C-alpha cells in the first residue's frame, strides 16, 4: 500500500512558516553570552519539527539544511556552545534561507542554491571551527559477513521488568523467525512456585537457534528495542559448531503476556471530544480541497478559533428556530397573528445581523500578524544604519480584516523604514540634542468608531519644514510664493516623486515611496496623516475601515437610478441656494460654501444618464471629501442609510471610473457605489480643462 503524503504538504508549509516566525522572535530576544535555555529550547523545537517534517515529506534539501542548524542549536541547548552574536546572526540568516526555500518549494519554483549553500557552509564552518570536544558516542561495530556462518545462537534472557516496557518476547521471537527458521528452547527454571508468581514479571528465557543467511546486524536489529532490558548473547554458528540434534527440545512458546495482562476483546471506546469536533471537520475539508488543487496555496487558508466557530453554529441554530417558527406561522396565517409575525421578523433581522457580525469576525485577525515582522526589521536596519533603536508595540491584539491586513503590510514597512532612516537620528546627534542615545519607535493600533487606527511614532528629528518647502518648490509641486501652513507642508511628503533624503539609501528607497504608500492606503478606503514637530518626532496615523466587504452607505436618487455614497466621505448635505452657484468659463460650476469654492459634480453628466431635473435648486448638494479635497455632488434626493455588501464591478463587468463597486438592494436592483476620491479628482480635472479651454478661446 502506498499513501500519497503530498496532501499534507500545505499544513506542513503553514506550520513551518509559523515555526520560522517563532524562531525569529526568540532569536531576536537572545542576548549573546547568555544561554536562555527556555528560548533555545523553543528555537530547537521549531527547527526540529521542520527537519522532521521536511524529511518525511521528501524535501531533502530543507531537511539537510535544518539538520546543520539543529546540530548547532543542540550544542547550545546542552551548554556545549556559547551563544555568540555571530551565531545568532547566522541563525537569523538561516531562518531567512529556510523561509525562502519553503516559499520557493511551495510555489514550485527554483530554490536559490547559491544562497542556501553559502549559509549552509557558514553554519558548517561555525560548527567545525570551534567544535566542542565531544567523544563520538556511536561507534559502529563493523559487520563482517563471513561466508562460513550458517546461523546464529541467540541466548535471550529478558530482565524481569521487560513487560513494563510494553515489549513482548513472543513478538521478538516471531520477528526473528522472519530471518530464517528458528528452533527455540524455553528455560522455565526461573519460574517460581505458583503462589509466588508475579505475572507482571518476566521470568522466562530462551535459547534460540536461527539458521539462514541473516547478518549479525539484522539479528541485533530485532532486539534493538530491548537490548537494555535483557541479557543477550549472539554467537555465530559456523559449519563446525553445529549443535547435536538430540539436545534440542522444541517447546511451544507460551505467550507470557496472556496471563500477565488479560486483554478483553472490547470495542475501543472513543470519547467524543465535543469542542474540537467541528474544527476537525473543517480542517479535513480544507485538506481535501487543497489536495485536489495543488496550486491553491496562494488562495490561502485562515485559522479560526474554536470559539468563533461555536458562536457561528450557535447563531445558525437560532436562525433555524426562527425560520421554522415563521414557517409554522405562514401555514395558517390569519390577520390576528400579525403581531407574532412582526416579532418573528424582528428576531430574524436580529439573528441575521448577529450572524453577519460573527461571519465577519472569522476574517478578523489580530494585527500582531503584521507587527511581528518589525522586531527583525528594526534589528537589522538599526545595525545597518548604526543607530540605536528600541521598538515598542502596543495594541497587537487589535483585530482587522485579513485582506486589509495583507494589503497594509507593505505601506507599514515603508513607513517604519522611513522613520528609522530619516526620523531617528544617529546616537551622537541625539546626545548633542540632549535626547537619550536610543531612539524609540512606537507602533500602536486601536479601534476607533468603525475604523482601525495604526500609529507609527518616532522620537526623531521630525520633518524639516524648510527643506520640504525648498524641495517642493524645486520640484514644481508648489509655487515660490505659496504660503502654506506647517500641516500643508507636512502633507507635501506624500506628493509623487518627493524625496528629501540627500543620499539615496537602500533603506528607504528612491523616494518613490510615500505617494505609493498614500495611494495604497487610499485604495483600502483609508487615509494617512502625519504630525511632526522638530526634534520631538513624527507620528504617522493610518485610518482604515475594519473590513472591505461591507460599508455604511448613503443611498441617493438620481433620475430613476439609486447610487450609494460611502458615509465616511460625506461631510454634509444641503439645499442649494441659487445665489451661491458660480458658473465659470467653460461651463463648470462652483458652489460657494463658507468662503470655500467647491466644484459641483453633476452625476448625470459623468455617467451620461437622463436626469429628471437639471435645475440645481430642485435638488440637493452632498458635500464629500475624497483624498483631502472637497466637492459637491448634485443629486435629486437623499434616500435611506444602510450597510451594503460590496460586490466587485471589475470582476463581474469592468472597471468604471468614478465607481468603486456595486451592491444589490433589498428590492433586488443593483446600485453603484461611488468612488468619491475618484469623482473629486475627475471633477477637479474637468474644471481645470474647461478653464484652460476658456482661456485659450
Partner 1 sequence: MPTILAVDDSASMRQMVTFTLKGAGFNVIDAVDGIDALDKAKKTKVDLVLTDVNMPRMDGISLIKELRTLPNYKFIPILMLTTESGTGKKSEGKSAGATGWIVKPFNPDQLLATIKKVLG
Catalytic residues: 48, 70, 418
The cell for 619 is 435638488
The cell for 572 is 454634509
Residue closer to partner 1 by CB (options 287, 329) is 287
x/- contact string, 195-214, with partner 1 (CB under 8 A)? -----x--------------
Q: How far is CA 405 from the centre of its chain?
A: 9
Residue closer to partner 1 by CB (options 131, 571) is 131
Q: Do the beta carbons of residue 691 and residue 586 sit within 8 Å? A: yes
- Three-state secondary structure of 616-648: HHHCEEEEEEECCEEEEEEECEEEEEEEEECEC
Single residue of 21, 36, 64, 74 touching partner 1 by CB under 8 A = 74
Single residue of 52, 375, 511, 559 touching partner 1 by CB under 8 A = 52
- Residue 284 CB, nearest approach to partner 1 (Å): 9
Single residue of 42, 418, 419, 457 touching partner 1 by CB under 8 A = 42
x/- contact string, 247-276, with partner 1 (CB under 8 A)? ----------x--xx----x-xxxx-x---
Q: Do the beta carbons of residue 297 and residue 355 sit within 8 Å? A: no
**Cα angle for residues 680, 682, 685 (degrees, 5° grid):** 105
Residue closer to partner 1 by CB (options 150, 291) is 291
Q: Determine the interface stretch with partner 1 among 68-76, 349-357, 491-499, 604-612 (rule: CB under 8 A).
A: 68-76
Q: Do the beta carbons of residue 167 and residue 229 sit within 8 Å? A: yes
Q: In 45-168, which ranges are E strands? A: 149-158
By CB under 8 A, the residues from 551 to 580 that bind partner 1 are none
Single residue of 17, 21, 35, 55 touching partner 1 by CB under 8 A = 55
Single residue of 196, 224, 335, 503 touching partner 1 by CB under 8 A = 224
In this structure, the strands spanning 561-566 and 670-674 are parallel
Residue 165 makes contact with partner 1 by CB under 8 A = yes
Single residue of 32, 34, 37, 56 touching partner 1 by CB under 8 A = 56
Q: For the chain, how far is it from start to end, CA to CA, in angstroms?
A: 86
Give the separation between CA 387 and CA 382, rounded to whole angstroms: 5
Q: Do the beta carbons of residue 251 and residue 231 sit within 8 Å? A: no
DSSP-derived letter for residue 180 is: S
Single residue of 25, 71, 122, 641 touching partner 1 by CB under 8 A = 71
Single residue of 20, 26, 51, 576 touching partner 1 by CB under 8 A = 51
**Cα angle for residues 330, 333, 335 (degrees, 5° grid):** 135
By CB under 8 A, the residues from 284 to 313 that bind partner 1 are 287
Residue 11 makes contact with partner 1 by CB under 8 A = yes
Residue 12 makes contact with partner 1 by CB under 8 A = yes
Q: Determine the interface stretch with partner 1 among 55-63, 312-320, 371-379, 512-520 (rule: CB under 8 A).
A: 55-63
Give the separation between CA 674 and CA 441, rounded to whole angstroms: 38
Residue closer to partner 1 by CB (options 2, 386) is 2
Residue 696 makes contact with partner 1 by CB under 8 A = no
Residue closer to partner 1 by CB (options 14, 216) is 14
Residue closer to partner 1 by CB (options 127, 690) is 127
Give the separation between CA 467 and CA 469, rounded to whole angstroms: 5
Give the separation between CA 602 and CA 635, rounded to whole angstroms: 8
Single residue of 114, 134, 137, 503 touching partner 1 by CB under 8 A = 137
Q: Determine the interface stretch with partner 1 among 184-192, 223-231, 370-378, 598-606 (rule: CB under 8 A).
A: 223-231
Single residue of 26, 57, 92, 411 touching partner 1 by CB under 8 A = 57
Residue 403 makes contact with partner 1 by CB under 8 A = no
- Residue 604 CB, nearest approach to partner 1 (Å): 57
Single residue of 35, 67, 396, 426 touching partner 1 by CB under 8 A = 67
Sheet order of strands, 670-674 included: 637-645, 550-558, 561-566, 670-674, 659-664
Residue closer to partner 1 by CB (options 79, 497) is 79
Distances, alpha carbon 598 to alpha carbons 500, 574, 581, 658, in Å: 32, 13, 10, 18
The cell for 252 is 511451544
Q: Is the dihedral of CA 194, 199, 203, 204 positive or negative?
A: positive
| Number of chain residues interacting with partner 1 (CB under 8 A) | 54
Residue 325 makes contact with partner 1 by CB under 8 A = no
- Residue 307 CB, nearest approach to partner 1 (Å): 17
- Residue 280 CB, nearest approach to partner 1 (Å): 9
- Residue 68 CB, nearest approach to partner 1 (Å): 11
By CB under 8 A, the residues from 580 to 599 that bind partner 1 are none
Residue 134 makes contact with partner 1 by CB under 8 A = no
Q: Give SS3 for 531.
A: strand
Sheet order of strands, 230-238 included: 181-187, 205-211, 149-158, 230-238
Phi, psi dihedral angles at 371 (to 5 degrees) = -70, -25
Residue 9 makes contact with partner 1 by CB under 8 A = yes
**Cell match 546616537: residue?**
427
- Residue 232 CB, nearest approach to partner 1 (Å): 14
Nearest in space to 680 (alpha carbons), one of 622, 611, 614, 613 = 622
CB atoms under 10 Å from CB of 483, counted, come to: 7
Phi, psi dihedral angles at 563 (to 5 degrees) = -120, 165
Residue 81 makes contact with partner 1 by CB under 8 A = no
Name the site residues for partner 1 (rule: CB under 8 A). 1-3, 5, 7-9, 11-12, 14-15, 42, 44-45, 48-49, 51-57, 63, 67, 70-71, 74, 137-138, 163-168, 171, 174-175, 200, 224-225, 228-229, 257, 260-261, 266, 268-271, 273, 287
Amino acid at each position: 500500500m502506498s499513501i500519497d503524503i503530498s496532501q499534507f504538504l500545505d499544513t506542513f508549509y503553514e506550520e513551518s512558516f509559523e515555526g520560522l516566525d517563532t524562531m525569529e522572535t526568540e532569536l531576536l530576544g537572545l542576548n549573546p553570552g547568555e544561554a536562555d535555555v527556555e528560548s533555545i529550547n523553543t528555537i530547537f523545537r521549531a527547527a526540529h519539527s521542520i527537519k522532521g517534517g521536511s524529511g518525511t515529506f521528501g524535501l531533502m534539501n530543507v531537511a539537510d539544511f535544518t539538520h546543520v542548524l539543529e546540530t548547532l542549536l543542540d550544542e547550545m541547548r546542552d551548554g556545549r556552545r556559547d551563544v555568540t552574536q555571530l551565531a545568532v546572526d547566522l541563525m537569523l540568516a538561516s531562518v531567512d534561507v529556510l523561509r525562502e526555500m519553503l516559499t520557493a518549494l511551495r510555489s514550485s519554483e527554483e530554490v536559490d542554491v547559491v544562497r542556501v549553500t553559502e549559509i549552509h557552509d557558514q553554519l558548517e564552518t561555525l560548527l567545525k571551527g570551534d567544535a566542542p570536544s565531544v567523544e563520538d558516542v556511536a561507534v559502529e561495530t563493523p559487520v563482517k559477513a563471513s561466508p562460513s556462518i550458517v546461523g546464529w545462537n541467540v541466548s535471550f534472557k529478558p530482565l524481569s521488568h521487560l513487560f513494563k516496557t510494553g515489549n513482548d518476547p513472543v513478538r521478538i521471537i516471531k520477528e526473528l523467525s522472519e530471518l530464517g527458521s528458528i528452533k527455540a528452547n524455553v528455560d522455565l527454571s526461573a519460574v517460581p512456585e505458583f503462589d509466588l508468581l508475579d505475572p507482571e514479571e518476566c521470568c522466562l528465557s530462551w535459547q534460540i537457534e536461527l539458521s539462514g543467511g541473516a547478518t549479525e546486524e539484522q539479528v541485533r536489529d530485532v532486539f534493538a528495542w530491548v537490548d537494555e532490558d535483557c541479557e543477550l548473547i549472539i554467537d555465530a554458528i559456523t559449519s563446525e559448531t553445529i549443535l547435536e540434534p538430540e539436545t534440542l527440545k522444541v517447546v511451544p512458546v507460551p505467550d507470557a503476556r496472556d496471563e500477565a495482562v488479560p486483554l478483553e476483546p472490547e470495542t475501543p471506546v472513543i470519547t467524543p471530544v465535543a469542542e474540537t469536533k467541528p474544527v476537525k471537520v473543517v480542517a479535513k475539508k480544507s485538506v481535501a480541497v487543497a489536495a485536489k488543487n495543488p496550486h491553491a496555496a496562494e488562495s490561502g487558508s485562515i485559522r479560526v478559533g474554536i470559539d468563533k466557530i461555536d458562536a457561528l453554529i450557535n447563531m445558525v441554530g437560532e436562525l433555524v428556530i426562527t425560520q421554522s417558527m415563521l414557517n409554522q406561522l405562514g401555514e395558517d396565517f390569519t390577520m390576528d397573528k400579525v403581531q407574532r409575525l412582526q416579532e418573528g421578523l424582528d428576531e430574524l433581522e436580529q439573528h441575521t445581523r448577529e450572524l453577519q457580525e460573527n461571519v465577519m469576525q472569522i476574517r478578523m485577525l489580530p494585527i500582531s500578524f503584521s507587527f511581528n515582522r518589525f522586531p527583525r526589521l528594526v534589528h537589522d536596519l538599526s545595525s545597518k544604519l548604526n543607530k540605536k533603536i528600541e521598538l515598542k508595540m502596543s495594541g497587537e491584539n487589535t483585530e482587522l480584516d485579513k485582506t486589509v491586513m495583507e494589503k497594509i503590510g507593505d505601506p507599514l514597512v515603508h513607513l517604519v523604514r522611513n522613520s528609522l532612516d530619516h526620523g531617528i537620528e544617529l546616537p551622537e546627534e541625539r546626545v548633542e540634542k540632549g535626547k537619550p542615545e536610543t531612539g524609540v519607535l512606537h507602533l500602536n493600533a486601536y479601534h476607533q468608531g468603525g475604523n482601525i487606527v495604526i500609529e507609527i511614532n518616532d522620537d526623531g528629528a521630525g520633518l524639516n519644514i524648510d527643506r520640504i518647502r525648498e524641495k517642493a518648490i524645486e520640484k514644481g509641486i508648489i509655487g515660490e510664493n505659496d504660503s502654506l501652513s506647517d500641516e500643508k507642508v507636512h502633507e507635501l511628503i506624500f506628493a509623487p516623486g518627493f524625496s528629501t533624503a540627500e543620499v539615496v539609501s537602500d533603506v528607504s528607497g528612491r523616494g518613490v515611496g510615500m505617494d505609493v504608500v498614500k495611494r495604497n492606503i487610499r485604495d483600502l478606503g483609508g487615509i494617512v496623516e502625519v504630525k511632526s514637530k522638530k526634534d520631538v518626532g513624527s507620528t504617522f496615523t493610518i485610518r482604515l475601515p475594519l473590513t472591505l466587504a461591507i460599508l455604511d452607505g448613503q443611498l441617493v436618487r438620481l433620475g430613476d437610478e439609486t447610487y450609494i455614497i460611502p458615509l465616511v466621505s460625506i461631510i454634509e448635505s444641503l439645499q442649494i441656494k441659487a445665489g451661491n452657484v458660480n458658473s465659470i468659463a467653460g461651463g463648470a460650476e462652483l458652489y460657494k460654501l463658507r468662503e470655500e469654492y467647491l466644484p459641483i459634480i453633476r452625476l448625470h453628466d459623468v455617467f451620461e444618464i437622463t436626469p429628471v431635473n437639471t435645475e440645481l435648486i430642485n435638488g440637493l448638494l452632498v458635500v464629500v471629501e475624497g483624498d483631502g479635497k472637497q466637492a459637491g455632488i448634485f443629486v435629486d434626493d437623499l434616500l435611506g442609510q444602510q450597510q451594503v455588501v460590496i460586490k466587485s464591478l471589475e470582476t463581474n463587468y469592468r472597471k468604471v471610473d468614478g465607481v468603486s463597486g456595486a451592491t444589490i438592494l433589498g428590492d433586488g436592483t443593483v446600485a453603484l457605489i461611488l468612488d468619491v476620491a475618484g469623482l473629486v479628482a475627475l471633477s477637479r480635472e474637468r474644471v481645470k480643462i474647461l478653464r484652460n479651454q476658456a482661456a485659450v478661446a
